[in-house]
Structure 1
Amino acid sequence: MMIMEIENVRRALEMISSAEDFGILIPEVRSNIVMARSNPCGPEDVAAVPGRITEFQGRAFACRDPEYGASSHMARFIIALNEHLPARRSALNIKFDESIISICEDMGLVVSSYDRSREPDIVRDTEGGSIPWGVEEALRNSESPPDVIYHRGAWGKEPMIVLTGRDAVEVAELAIRILREYKSLKGI
């Protein structure tokens, strides 16, 4: 029996893997696309790609099929977001670029951010505390539920954009729309 979230992440992964030049959106720390079960409690309730999604010959590439419990960082992100926005069950991290933020805003997406340099020491020193804190900050900084959350990085932390949605296929579709606009802007 196929589990719905895993199948949805698998379809989303096929979409982004077949999108030409998707690799230009993948950050140095690599990407992951996740989808949580309803009311997730921990990473075991979140389908993700083991080993993350990397770039190979310009395309997104994953070595393994999605499975539950395969992500820590992105699982914590979607669990924290889902506590406030239960309909948002999926997320994908992509590289930070100011022009991608502008593209998202031009598409009419709600964009919010948080400043990692303002992260309290107690949060920074707590294993796994940074991501939920960042989600809370981004929600506080936005009048409407954000579709896109980003930060500009901090010492030793890569700047990042996270796209969110109801399911992984919806998030992959959004990422591909952003990719088309980004390629056009960059002349690729």
Structure 2
Amino acid sequence: MAYEAFVIRGSKTIFLKKAIARNLYNKGIDQSEISELLKLSQPMVSNYCSSKEKIPEEITDIAENISQKIINGKAPDFHTCITFSDKSFEGNYFLANKNEIITDENIKIVNNLTEAFLILKGKNISGLIPEVKINIAMSKLKPTGSNDVAAFLNGFVVADDKIIGYNGIRFGRSKHLSSLLLGLKKDLDTNAIMNIAYIRDLGGTNFNVSYLTKEYKLIDDKDQVDILLHKGDFGIEPCAYVLGKDAVDVSKKVLKLINGLNNEK
């Protein structure tokens, strides 16, 4: 997740806090509260609020913006940023973890996951809903860790046996699916995975099926696998995992699975 940040040179920090203190005081905020918000002593806040010292215009603009955010309920946090560049980084920026920086590959993954959701949206998936949140995870082609795997934040929203929504897509969030997918990629040609409820009879669905050990290791040496089954363990729900080249491929296999299971009834 990206966070808004206001970057100024260290020499201007005093001016900034002085301007913010004045703004908040003029808007009726008590000096003791200003002291706590800006991590200043109360005598310092009193000095700032009564000072007639002129504040540089570029600082007053930033201070007004920050002051309004504080009034709206956001608490500021001051940090020191050290760079080794000749370029000035003053201004309004957004800070994000390295894995959340938008690259072409990240965009493709997010778009693919979104399309996968739209394929499944509104479809009746009764019988495939596990006790835990149902989710799809998709990795970069050459992942170095879980931060290179994206999934739906807190899984899909399900109502009346139908997938109806989701709360965002994030990299590095679905620990179980991402770690499982990264482990499987060492032996299988797969970039996406979806967890569904355990299915006892897949004989008539024409999928390549295999099993996982209790430790989530492949039980055989198959090169192509569509669905992996895990029989569960003490405190662990039995589960099935649908694999694919990407999230869209996975969602299409799930639809095919639904149709196959319905035809058997």
* Shorter-chain TM-score tier: 0.7 to 0.9
How many residues align? The count is 161
Higher Rg of the two aligned structures: 2
- The CA distance in 2 between the partners of 1:14 and 1:23, in whole Å, is 17
TM, length-normalised to structure 2? 0.56
- The CA distance in 1 between the partners of 2:222 and 2:209, in whole Å, is 10
- The CA distance in 1 between the partners of 2:213 and 2:186, in whole Å, is 21
Change beyond 3 A, Cα 1:185–1:29:
same
- The CA distance in 2 between the partners of 1:142 and 1:110, in whole Å, is 12
- The CA distance in 2 between the partners of 1:145 and 1:57, in whole Å, is 33
Per-residue CA deviations over 1:11-49 (Å, capped at 9, x if unaligned) read: 101111232x12431101121101100111222101100
Give, as a single letter, the amino acid of the residue that structure 2 aligns with 1:110. N
Instruction: Quote the offset at 1:145 in angstroms.
Output: 2.8
The runs of 5 or more residues in structure 2 that have no matched partner are: 1-101
Change beyond 3 A, Cα 1:94–1:31:
same
SS in 2 for 1:98: coil
- Find 1:91's aligned residue among 185, 193, 200: 193
Give, as a single letter, the amino acid of the residue that structure 1 aligns with 2:190. R
* Residue 176 (structure 1) aligns with: 255
Give, as a single letter, the amino acid of the residue that structure 1 aligns with 2:164. F
CA contact (8 A) 1:110 1:144 kept: no
Residues 1-188 of structure 1 correspond to what in structure 2 (within 5 A)? 3-19=107-123, 21-85=124-188, 87-99=189-201, 101-104=202-205, 107=206, 109-116=207-214, 130=215, 134-135=216-217, 137-138=218-219, 141-186=220-265
- The CA distance in 2 between the partners of 1:183 and 1:82, in whole Å, is 31
Give, as a single letter, the amino acid of the residue that structure 1 aligns with 2:193. A
Give, as a single letter, the amino acid of the residue that structure 1 aligns with 2:131. E
Per-residue CA deviations over 1:83-103 (Å, capped at 9, x if unaligned) read: 223x4101111100212x324
CA contact (8 A) 1:103 1:178 kept: no
Taking only aligned residues, the RMSD between alpha carbons, in angstroms, comes to 1.9
- Equivalent pairs: percent with the same residue? 24
Give, as a single letter, the amino acid of the residue that structure 1 aligns with 2:119. M
- The CA distance in 1 between the partners of 2:170 and 2:126, in whole Å, is 22
- The CA distance in 1 between the partners of 2:151 and 2:128, in whole Å, is 18
- The CA distance in 2 between the partners of 1:74 and 1:103, in whole Å, is 27
The runs of 5 or more residues in structure 1 that have no matched partner are: 117-129
TM, length-normalised to structure 1? 0.78
Change beyond 3 A, Cα 1:62–1:44:
farther
- The CA distance in 2 between the partners of 1:6 and 1:180, in whole Å, is 27
